[in-house]
């Protein structure tokens, strides 16, 4: 009998979710989510506001309790495999006034490997500096995080996630409020991580770019509407099911998916 925590190829699933329900004040936010994430993919999580996208990420991270169901990270509980997950929170959820410099923020990504009571060593500082260099923020290493622009702050948080040297990355709207150059740098970095065999789940709110950025899409509106390769899932019927009447507001997207459908028929 095949182990349910493994992909069809027999590899451990980076993330498996079964019958997950989450409620705030007895009101369901996520309902009966069943999901198996294949490894080595860049996956976009899309859906309307209030559809549970951020809640899904936070529940996987153990930050939000579930009402029922379970989550496994590489076949084990989050607590046992927390060191294998890198997390980039929503920028709005961070206290940017906290007095800490850029390098210290990135070094926080090393604590999962060090343990809370051990101080970072020279090797850890070198990894942190390399990660800052990757996101083109090395010249800002000594700058206070509060004194950076929104795009620069987001790059620093990406560097922190990179410093974790994780196998599974969860990112909550990393493109939100950043300039075009930062967005381009972020997507390049995500593809680089994917090419290294990492698995990435990214909450994303911009439909026109979703079809270009991701290998796979997870369409969510409290329930799991669809999950699969972008070319299969990004179609008018499934998006209409996900967004309902709100898709008509996104006329540019609606027209584009219709044109795709006509071209395929």
Q: Is a pLDDT exceeding 80 seen at residue 83?
A: yes
What span, in angstroms and rounded, lies between the C-alpha atoms of 244 and 136?
40
Q: Which residue has the higher pLDDT, 260 or 169?
A: 169
pLDDT(216) > 80: yes
Say what the pLDDT of residue 75 is.
Answer: 95
Confidence of residue 215 (pLDDT cuts 50, 70, 90): very high
Among the ranges given (40-44, 238-242, 254-258), the one the predictor scored with the smallest mean pLDDT: 254-258
Flag whether pLDDT at 255 surpasses 90: no
Predicted confidence at residue 1, as pLDDT, reads 36
Give the closest residue to 198 by CA, choosing from 74, 64, 89, 114: 74
pLDDT in tens, 117-153: 567 788 999 999 999 999 999 999 999 998 998 889 8
pLDDT of residue 253: 61
Confidence at residue 208, expressed as pLDDT on a 0 to 100 scale: 86
Residue 157 has pLDDT above 70, yes or no: yes
Can you give the pTM of this predicted structure?
0.86
Task: Give the C-alpha separation, 76 to 70, whole Å.
Answer: 10
CATH number of 15-234: 3.40.50.300
* Predicted local confidence at residue 200, as pLDDT: 98
Range with the lowest mean pLDDT among 150-159, 171-180, 239-248?
239-248
Using CB atoms within 10 Å of the CB of residue 238, give its burial: 0 to 12 exposed, 13 to 18 middle, 19+ buried.
middle
Between 177 and 50, the more confident residue is 50
Domain extent listing, the chain = 15-234
User: Hey, which bits of the chain come out as E strands?
Assistant: 15-24, 27-37, 42-46, 68-73, 85-88, 168-172, 199-203, 216-221, 223-229
> Mean of the pLDDT values across residues 198-219?
94
pLDDT at residue 4 greater than cutoff 60? no
Q: How far apart are CA 219 and CA 234, in angstroms?
A: 9
Res 115 pLDDT > 90:
no
């Amino acid at each position: 009998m095949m182990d349910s925590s493994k992909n069809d190829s027999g590899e451990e699933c980076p993330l498996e979710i079964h019958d997950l329900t989450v409620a705030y004040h007895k009101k369901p936010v996520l309902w009966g989510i069943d999901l198996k994430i294949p490894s080595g993919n860049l996956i976009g999580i899309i859906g309307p506001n209030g559809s549970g996208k951020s809640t899904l990420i936070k529940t996987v991270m153990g930050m939000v309790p579930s009402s029922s169901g379970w989550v496994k990270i590489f076949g084990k509980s989050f607590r046992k495999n927390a060191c294998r997950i890198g997390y980039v929170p929503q920028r709005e959820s961070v206290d940017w006034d906290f007095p800490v410099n850029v390098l210290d923020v990135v070094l926080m990504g090393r604590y999962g490997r060090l343990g809370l009571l051990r101080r970072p060593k020279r090797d850890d500082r070198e990894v942190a500096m390399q990660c800052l260099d990757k996101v083109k923020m090395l010249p800002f290493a000594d700058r206070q995080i509060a004194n950076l622009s929104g795009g620069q702050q987001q790059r620093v948080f990406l560097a922190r996630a990179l410093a974790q040297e994780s196998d599974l990355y969860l990112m909550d709207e990393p493109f939100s409020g950043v300039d075009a150059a930062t967005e381009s740098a972020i997507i390049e970095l995500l593809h680089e991580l994917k090419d290294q065999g990492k698995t990435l789940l990214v909450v994303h709110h911009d439909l026109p770019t979703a079809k270009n950025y991701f290998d796979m899409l997870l369409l969510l509106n409290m329930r799991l509407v669809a999950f699969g390769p972008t070319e299969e899932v990004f179609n008018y019927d499934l998006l209409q099911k996900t967004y309902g009447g709100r898709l008509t507001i996104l006329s540019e997207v609606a027209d584009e998916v219709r044109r795709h459908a006509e071209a395929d028929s």
